[in-house]
Amino acid sequence: MSDHISKEVTPEVGEGPYYKTGSPQRNNVIGKGTNGEKLTVTGHVLDTLGNPVNGAWLDFWQADGNGEYDNIGYNLRGHQFTDITGTYRLETVIPAMYGTRTPHIHVKLRATSLTLIITSQLFFPDQARNKTDPIFNPKLVMAVTGSPGNTQASFDFVLNI
């Protein structure tokens, strides 16, 4: 991974009102009967030199395909740790827009239990609401490929550690 070119740290974005502590450790956050088209998000957690961060913690949460959050249980919520190559894999659904928000996936992450937690969001390309969403950041847009029913996205996080 390392190409010894300094990489830009992933921008932080507000947490929003729907974060819950205590999410289960899992890569697949789709509960039974969840509304939305399946989506697999993969990527890496890297340091600013492009080196993989082994054991980085990522905690994801999001709305479903109707723009609704599970605020009672832990559907579409879960945390995981990167492997030795800094890789993570999230199996979820494409979230719908709601209110003034464009479709997005929330994430908290940190390199180790001793480093600061950053909070950010991942966005989708070519969404009309990206232009008006007050939190949208073009540096947080995922690369999306595939077709309905087999949509893949990727994003590499960079931490200053």
- Residue 2's pLDDT band (cuts 50, 70, 90): very low
Q: What are phi and psi of 140, to 5 degrees?
A: -110, 20
Q: What is the largest CA-CA distance in the chain?
A: 45
Radius of gyration of the chain from Cα atoms? 15
Higher pLDDT, 81 or 146: 81
- The predicted-structure confidence for 47-59, as pLDDT tens digits, reads as follows 999 999 999 999 9
Residue 4, pLDDT score: 52
Q: In the sheet that 77-81 helps form, which strands lie side by side, from edge to edge?
A: 77-81, 57-62, 104-110, 118-123
The CATH superfamily holding the domain 38-159 is Aromatic compound dioxygenase (2.60.130.10)
Q: Dihedral of CA 111/122/1/84: which sign?
A: positive
Give the C-alpha separation, 161 to 153, whole Å: 25
Could you count the other beta carbons within 10 Å of the beta carbon of residue 94? 19
Domain boundaries, the chain: 38-159
Residue 149, pLDDT score: 83
Mean pLDDT, residues 107-117: 95
Contact 2, 49 (CB under 8 A): yes
